[in-house]
Amino acid sequence: MLLTASVSKAEVVALVDALTPMRIFIDERRRRAVTLNRAEVTFVAGRGIRLRGDARAAWDVAGVELPVTVQAWQVLLVPHVVARGRARLLALEPVIEELELGLVPGFVDDKIARAVREGVAQKRERLAWDFARALSKRLSLSARIAPPRALEIVAADGEVDVGEDELRLGVRFEARVVERRADVQVEGAPSEREPAMPLVPAPAGR
């Protein structure tokens, strides 16, 4: 089975508007941060979603906070499907295409740009959705069937594509009937709670 879902440009614009302005801390001591203002959204067919805007940065230099203006930043979010064991994730890889700082001392210009790029790279793991875990289901069959059986619908793989005004995710499902163990709760079974464990485990560290 193949299920295709799409996200329109208008929906992405509304989401970005809701998220910005956004302050991102780029060090563990939370002494250096970048505040992203409203961003312009452009869909680049066959490549990804481009965000462009300006920003402000608070930068600590030897205990003194240095205000920095980011005149322009541009990031391309490149979508792709990642396999991690049984998990399948829709990941958005952030690629910094432009970072133009305002008038700042030369000895910190490169350090700020490098720290921003490293900070974005460190947060790329958060820009991912485990659609296999979210969409896979295990449903009980009739209690009159012996031995007890369940229907598994598993999101096995996917593919993603970006058009001029929408992002499309195609998910391939596999269905199978399995024997239901007495110690495993099944979604949809009468008088039972939600399964204690997901059908598709999340990747380590998430």
Q: Cα–Cα distances in Å, from 187 out to 79, 93, 98, 135, 182?
A: 31, 34, 48, 13, 13
In this prediction the pTM is 0.74
pLDDT(201) > 80: no
Q: What is the mean pLDDT of residues 62-72?
A: 79
- Helices then strands, counting H and E runs in the chain, come out as 3, 10
CA distances from 154 to 17, 21, 120, 182, 190 (A): 34, 38, 32, 21, 22
Q: Mind giving me the DSSP string for 21-50?
A: SEEEE-STTS--EEEEEEEEEEEETTTEEE
* Mean of pLDDT over the chain: 81
Q: How far apart are CA 69 and CA 102, in angstroms?
A: 5
97-109: average pLDDT: 74
Query: In the beta sheet, which residues pair with residue 57?
Result: 34, 68
Task: Give the pLDDT confidence score for residue 205 in this predicted structure.
Answer: 45
User: What is the C-alpha to C-alpha distance for residues 37 and 21, in angstroms, rounded to an integer?
Assistant: 5
Block residue for tokens 């007495």: 182
Mean pLDDT (whole number) for 86-101: 90
pLDDT tops 60 at residue 179? yes
DSSP characters for 148-164?
Answer: -EEEEEEEEEEEEEE-S
Ordered structural domains, the chain, with CATH: 9-130 (3.15.10.40)
Question: Is 163 or 61 the better-scoring residue by pLDDT?
Answer: 163
Q: Please count the CA atoms within 13 angstroms of the CA of 205 that sit on its side-chain side.
A: 3
pLDDT band at 195 (very low <50, low <70, confident <90, very high): very low
pLDDT beyond 50 at 199? no
C-alpha to C-alpha distance for 186 and 181, rounded to whole angstroms: 9
pLDDT for the residue numbered 86? 83
Tokens representing 55 are: 């920003």
In this structure, of 11-20, 27-36, 82-91, 193-202, the range with the lowest mean pLDDT score is 193-202
Rg of the Cα atoms in the chain: 23
